[in-house]
Amino acid sequence: MGEVQTDHLAHERGRAEFDVEAMKIVWAGSKQAFDVSDRIARLVASDPVFRKDNRAMLGRKELFKNTMRKAAHAWKRIIELRLSEEEASRFRAFVDEPAFTDLHWGMFVPAIKGQGTDEQQQKWLPLAYKMQIVGCYAQTELGHGSNVQGLETTATFDPKSDEFVINSPTLTSSKWWPGGLGKASTHAVVYARLIIGNQHHGVHGFIVQLRNLDNHVPLPGITVGDIGMKFGNGAYNTMDNGVLRFDNVRIPRNQMLMRVSQVTREGRFVHSNIPRQLVYGTMVYVRQTIVSDASIALSRAVCVATRYSAVRRQFGAKNGGLETQVIDYKTQQNRLFPLLASAYAFRFVGEWLKWLYTDVTQRLQAKDFSTLPEAHACTAGLKSLTTSITADGIEECRKLCGGHGYLFSSGLPELFAVYVPSCTYEGDNYILQLQVARILMKTVSQLGSGVQPVGTTAYLGRVEHLMQCQCSVQKAEDWLKPSTIQEAFEARATRMAVACAQKLSTMPNQEEGFAELSADLVEVAIAHCQLIVVSKFIEKLQQDIPGKGVRKQLEVLCNVYALSLLHKHQGDFLATGSITPEQGSLANDQLRHLYDQVRPNAVALVDAFNYTDHYLGSILGRYDGNVYPKLYEEAWKDPLNDSDVPDGYNEYLRPMLKQQLLLARL
């Protein structure tokens, strides 16, 4: 955890009412996962090549060169240490810098595995696994992102040469945003409209070489570069997000990804016997990874804010004594503790999504597609929910740290700038929730036909009960019953979905109705997704959880998560009659009592994330709490402090001070 001399948070850690080491294993998922993660985190933290405190000071070219250096060194260490694929992934994550390798491993390789034939995988994957080629995922264009079917890049089959001609017919068809494309990638999976003769056959993926493998120069017909600086100083500017245009670039026919659909030598477009739905398996995988990443990003911000809130003291000094710790103020707890609970909640729903991905994959292989639409909608909705809450939560944690939270050295501005793109990539969050709403509306419309809802929509099968049930809460402690919380969330989600479905049924045109009610439908989807997270947290508590006091703390966090949501969305619960105003007031009373239970355990609960100081990247969140001396020390490292008199003093500041501006040669 870095060099610890005096632990300024020792008193806080001594108050913990649970076994912190056991909680670390719960957070990691298993003892083995904890051991691997801990070992690799320390390996990265101890390597000077991976320093990151100077990123904001570097110019763009220097920044990207430094990223390439880190990526190459990481690959060298991965080979030397003989790390497994999972361990290598953890290693890159702890380096904690967006890089072209993220898209190579996270999108390019999965696309070939998911959409390539056995022959294509045998050809391309060994090259990719050895990093003999670097790939990216070129889908988004200047003019189209979420609307994939609107992509304009074309792939026209030429039967004479047995090739596809890849072309960018308009300015807006330029590929725009793919990470790793700008400067690093040698190849891309390019998504384009397939044209055979005069017929269009939808959007498909094609493997296209972009650069010469000897000198890295773009190949003829290819215009490629970086799209420019993005939000933040270091942040995502370590990534070479690119622009790409094709001028009738020819590729062999066998470089179309043909696992699901093929073009024959004669130019016939045929579907293979592999179901198209298999493509959704990759999407489920990517989105469950994003949900897991959300829990990590939010937990990092919460760790910083919690530790600093325990270090920082303001007001409340009596008789010359110490001022009050900021974490003891109820307003601070009311903002911070629900985010702490959310980090744990997202962690557990992410674990469940890993199980869901395995289940979906096995079902797809057995040609059982019954749960796929619901699983697809579920992962879409949870990606949207968790990334939105995390992005807002990181910013809230910055505010919770007061003025010092705005410093680069707090780690929070950098974390925010790196994280916020996740609200847009892999599906705009509002559009994803509308996809969830479509599934919910379809499920509600089929309730009377004998079609049983599956998976996370199964509660809708009890629609009659949930439309009529009355919340049984009579005193504040009643809100601690998991079944009471679960039913309140189910009733609210059901009643909102049914109300929207009824409004839709009165519309003469379903699509127009969907557009008209889209804002309401997003709220319905969010209610459904919040129910999923609450349910999975409750399910986690039904498992065997070892360690003194660990279960008790998780129960408290589960209740904080659920009741803080109930308080925040009380309007929905009241409007649907899921609870009464008095029950809403009792929930708020109970929430305050729960904060009292979190308070002595707060620092220990963030210690359970087991983040090294290097990975956290925050002076405010230092493990030892030695904040003020380190902030002061860090300030003097800024290049502006290299000299007492700033560059430009004689040209600009001195003439102004000496009233000689009119004589100065500006």
Residues annotated as part of the active site: 426
Is 571 annotated as ligand-binding? Answer: no
Q: Which residues of 633-659 are buried (b: 16+ CB within 10 A; e: fewer)?
A: eeeeeeeeeeeeeeeeeeeeeebeeee
Degrees (nearest 5) of the Cα angle 645, 651, 654? 60
Q: Which of 486, 600, 477 is nearest to 549 (CA)?
A: 600
Classify each residue of 459-487 as buried b or exposed e, where b means 16 or more C-beta atoms within 10 Å of its C-beta: bbeebeebeebebebeebebbbebebbbb
For 629, the enclosing helix (H) or strand (E) is: helix 627-635
Question: Which tokens go with 449?
Answer: 């036909």
User: To 10 degrees, what angle do helices 412-419 and 278-311 make?
Assistant: 170
CB under 8 Å to 98, separation ≥6 — which residues? 67, 179, 235, 236, 238, 239, 418
User: Which helix (H) or strand (E) covers residue 349, if one does?
Assistant: helix 330-365
Give strand pairing partners of 163. Answer: 158, 252
Q: How far apart are CA 91 and CA 74, in angstroms?
A: 8
| Residue 224 near residue 247, CB atoms below 8 Å | no
Backbone angles phi, psi at 366, to 5 degrees: -90, 10
Alpha-carbon span 450 to 458, nearest angstrom: 13
Q: Which residue has the tokens 């990759």?
A: 282
Q: Are 323 and 313 in contact, with CB atoms under 8 Å apart? A: yes
Q: At what angle do helices 550-568 and 330-365 cross, to 10 degrees?
A: 100
| Type and span of the H or E element at 553 | helix 550-568
Instruction: List Cβ neighbours of 215 (8 Å cut-off, separation of 6 or more).
Output: none
Residues in the chain: 666
Q: Dump the DSSP string for 232-276.
A: TTTGGGGS--EEEEESSEEEEGGGB--SSEEE-TT--EEE-SS-T
Neighbours of 231 (CB within 10 A): 12
Question: Got the DSSP string for 62-89?
Answer: HHHHHHHHHHHHHHHHHHHTT--HHHHH
- 8 A C-beta contact, residue 630 and residue 619: yes
Ranges assigned E (strand) in 280-353: none
The CA-based diameter of the chain, rounded to the nearest angstrom, is 92
Tokens of 237: 């500017």
Asked whether the beta carbons of 527 and 491 are under 8 A apart, the reply is no
Work out whether strand 187-196 and strand 199-209 pair parallel, antiparallel, or are unpaired. antiparallel
527, 568 Cβ separation under 8 angstroms: no
Query: Which residue is listed with tokens 């072209």?
Result: 100
Q: Is 179 annotated as a binding residue?
A: yes
Residues annotated within a binding site for FAD = 140, 179
Residues annotated within a binding site = 140, 179
